[in-house]
Every structure is written in structure tokens, then in C-alpha cells.
A and B are shown apart, each in its own frame.
Chain A
Amino acid sequence: MTGTIPLMYFLVISTLMFFIGIYGFLTRRNLITMLMSIELILNSVNINFVAFNKYLYPQHLSGHFFSLIVIAVAAAEAAVAIAIIINIYRNFKSIDVDKVDQMRY
């Protein structure tokens, strides 16, 4: 099993997911889409963790644990973020991130 799919494949996938996430985060103006991009980034990290754990240190489980923590944090984060987004929507009648630039000089 390990012999069939090289580690590199996983890394390529996760790198792609990571940069798609970054790209989405930087270019999309919709807060929900940006949140989804962040989820992509987090999941690419999760893939990395699991893959490295499996290939490099099969006798340890730290990578799995970290993935689980990240998933848990991501869930919490999604909840908080959506709450923030709803509040922003209530205040600005929009979820366009460019409209929310009150925290400037």
C-alpha cells in the first residue's frame, strides 16, 4: 500500500489545495468564500500531517492527533467566523470584505 502511492503525490495535492486556498483567500471578496478558502488551507495542512506521519514515523500517532485537533479548531473557527460574518452583515448589509475596512488609520 505504501509502496503504491509515493509521498510526493500527497504533497502535490496538499500544495495545490494550499495555494488554491491562498488564492481564494486573497482574491475573493465574499467573506463566506474566504472562509471556505481557509478551510481548504487547513485541510491541506491536515493531509500533510497525516501523510508525513504515515510515511516517516509509522510507529507514532502525533500527526493524526494534530489533524484531529486542527479539525476541531476549524469547526470552532467556522462557528465563530460565521457568527462574525452574520454580525458584519447586520451592520453593513453586506458581506463584501472591502466594505469592512473601518480598522484603518
Chain B
Amino acid sequence: MNILSLFVLIPVLTIVGILFTKDYKQTRVVSAIGMGIQLVLAGLLIYLYLAERNAGNTAAMLFTYDTVWFPTLNIHYSVGVDGISVAMIGLTAIVVFAGIFASWMVTFLSREFFISLILLSSGVFGFFISLDLFTMFLFYEVAVIPMYLLIGIWGSGPKEYSAMKLTLMLMAGSALILVGLLGIYFNSAPGGGQLTWNIQQIARIQIPIQMQRFLFPFTFIGFGILGALFPFHTWSPDGHASAPTAVSMLHAGVLMKLGGYGAFRVAMYLMPEAAQEQAWIFIILTSISVVYGAFGAIWQKDLKYINAYSSVSHCGLVLFAVLMMNQTAMNGAVIQMISHGLMTALFFALIGMIYGRTHTRMINEMGGLMKVMPFLGVAWVIGGLASLGLPGLSGFVAEMTVFVGAFQHTDVFHRTVTILATSSIVVTAVYILRVVGALLFGPIKDDHFLQLDDAKWYERFSTITLIVSIAAIGLAPLWLSDMIGSSLVPMVEKITGMSIAGLF
């Protein structure tokens, strides 16, 4: 059995296991065990991957497995990983695991809740291991659809509206992606012969440039919608605000990363010439995202909205870095995806925990929470510091790599947008500290808060898992950045059309 297929299989088995549980206590234990195994497996995968690379295996994809699935259209079930996908799988496993513990007290229809959540995660895992565009798209849909149910049923506030908005916008993105993928498929053999969905095979040929010009915007915007590309980001604040805790965590932490991952693994990698030509449009949009999201966050009063806008800003930086099209910036993009995934998951988890106690998410109604819940307060401060890019936590590594990479372009346009994007670190500090000050510090505004208790064991478990991951990347980023960087070499060579000197 191929180790990668296990990543799809274990969630399915967990779902089957959940069907046999009797009450929410059993359900959550089964879910935790299943996702715990998944986390261990992800760790094992990283270890095996690094061992294989150290043993000198230089193949682009490792642990590959390929079997024909639907011969008429030449659709394969084809899996394999490189350093980027391994890193993303690790991220997903951590966030899902933490998410299970963050939803420990979901008692309403808990079986259905955990089934949807795990189904979603299996879609995400499937997406990251797929090498076949069609199966990749299939898994993408599997990941997006349960979101509707999760928000619509277990959400809060105007949940039907938000769920519908989110789903419709993401479906619009899917439609664009589908057009792009079909276009790629039908142009995958320009010299005649068998058409293919396989990314590695398509990367070897050049899609005709006229077709690229037409297909690139479809694919990039399609994935960009999921990656909160300005101006298609508005599903994010509403969706996140209404979603239950674990769903926000998974959505902002992992699902938005499908956008960034798809944007460069599919759009940029397979259509580099069009990417070169059209990059400037998207660079403008993404640098707007970065600054605009940060400024948007300053004015918000709802914690979830603040974090949603902050995600717009940080995810904007991911796409921004991808479009910079050099080794360093793209490396930074992937690290930023992981870093943002972890810290935004931490934030949403904490928001959920605080909301569960204070029953409000409005920062002007809270204050002085550090005194009554020191654990959550400290965790929040750590998350905030990671978000504003404090060295020693993951955000710094990601941002610096992106900025140094973006600065390698010498022309005025790139310089300007780079400095613009860099300035977001100040704005980020403003809104993060504003929240920290209003939420945790100062006098306690409401006497009811004095009776609140600090985090329970499962909440601590969830929080600590994420904090440890953030700190691990922040303190020792070298292995991660090298793992990603070495896998980026073939992609960057294809995208820039130049062979790059061996840094790794």
C-alpha cells in the first residue's frame, strides 16, 4: 500500500468508525484517534521524505503511484509528493488534529459534524497528493462542499447567508478552475497523441501561448478566489465570522492554502509564459490585498472579522510572493502558507474558546481577560506576535524570505510594490496590538468575566500543538526551507525559463 493513499484512506476509515459510535463522547474520541494517526503518519512522511532525499533520490516526486481510473478520458489516480506537498500535508495534519480538540464540546449533531470535518480534511489531503489534474479537482470539490453544511448547520450569526455566499463564490472559482483545467487537458498534447491530465507530463511540454493567455487568468483567478485575492475576498470575513471554531481553523488554516498551492502548482507551473506576461496585473491586485486587508482589519470590532481581514492580508502575501517568480520569494510563499495556516488556526481556536466563555466577540465589550484566563491570554499574545512577524516564530521567517525574494527584482515597479507590501508589517503591528490591548489588557469591563475559568485540558492541548509548531518553524527554519527550496528548483526553472545555480 502506498503511504500517500493512506492519507485519503484513514479519514474514510475514521468516518466509518464514527458511524458506529453511540454518543458525542465516543465520536470525538474516535475522531481524535483517527486524526492522531494521521498526524503521526504525516510526521512519518516527512521523516521518510527527508531520509529518501538524503539517500540521494533526486526524482521530482517521491512515493509515486499511478493507476488508470477512467481510461476514456485518460484520468489516472496518480499520487506523489515533493517537499512542498509534504510540508502542506504536515500543516494540514496539525491543523486538523488541533481542530478536533477545539471542537471537543460540539454536542449538537456531533456525528455529522465530525464526519463533515473529516471528509473535508480527506479532500485537502487528496488535493495535496494528487498529480493528476482531474483527481486534484475532484478532491478540491470534496474539500469545498462540506463547508456549506458545516457553516450552515453549526454556524452562528447570519449563517445561512454566509454559507451560501461562501459556497457560491468558491463554486464560481471552481467553475473558472474547471474551464482552465479542461483547457489545459485539451492542449496537453499539442503535437498530437494521447491527451493527459498528469501535471508532470504537461510540465514537459509547452501549451500554445495563445491558449495560455486565455487559460491562465481562469486558472489563477479561480484558485485566487480561494486564496482571498482582492477583490474576490469578501466571502472570507462573512464566512469565517459565521463558521464554527474548527471550521474557521480548517478553512483559513488549510483550505485557503489550496488556492495558493493551486495557483502556482497548476496556473504558474503549467503556463509560465502567460504568467510572465500577466503577472503585473495580479501583482497589483495582491499587493492591494496585503495592504488593504491590514487596513481593513484596523477598523473592525469583531474578533473574527479582524482575523479574517488579517488572513486576507497574509494570504495576499502568499500570492504576491508566488508572482515574484524567483526561488527565494516562492520559498517564502510556501513558508508563509504554512506559517499563516498555523497562526490563523491558533487565532480562530482562541477566538472560539474566548467566545465560548464571554459570549461576545466584540473587542469593545471585553477587556482585562489576561487576568482571568492567563493561559489563553499568553497564547493569544504569542499568536499575535507570530502574526506581526516576531523573530523566533514562524511569521518572521516567512515574511523575511518573501521580502528578500521580492527585492531581487531591480525595476521600479517591483521595488515599489515590494516596499508597499513590506510596510504592511507596521499596519499589522497596529491592529494586532490594538486587539491585544483591548481584549487582554486594561481593567475588566464586565464583572461576569471574573467568574470565567481558564482553558480546559483539551483546549490547552489544541493550543499547545499549534504554538509548538509555530515556534519550531520559527526557531529552526532551515530544514523546512531547504526541503521546500530543493523541490522548487524544477518549478522555478520551468517558470522563469532559466536554469538556476544550485543553492540547495
Given a CB threshold of 8 Å, the question of whether A touches B is answered with no
- Chain B residues close to A by CB (< 8 Å): none
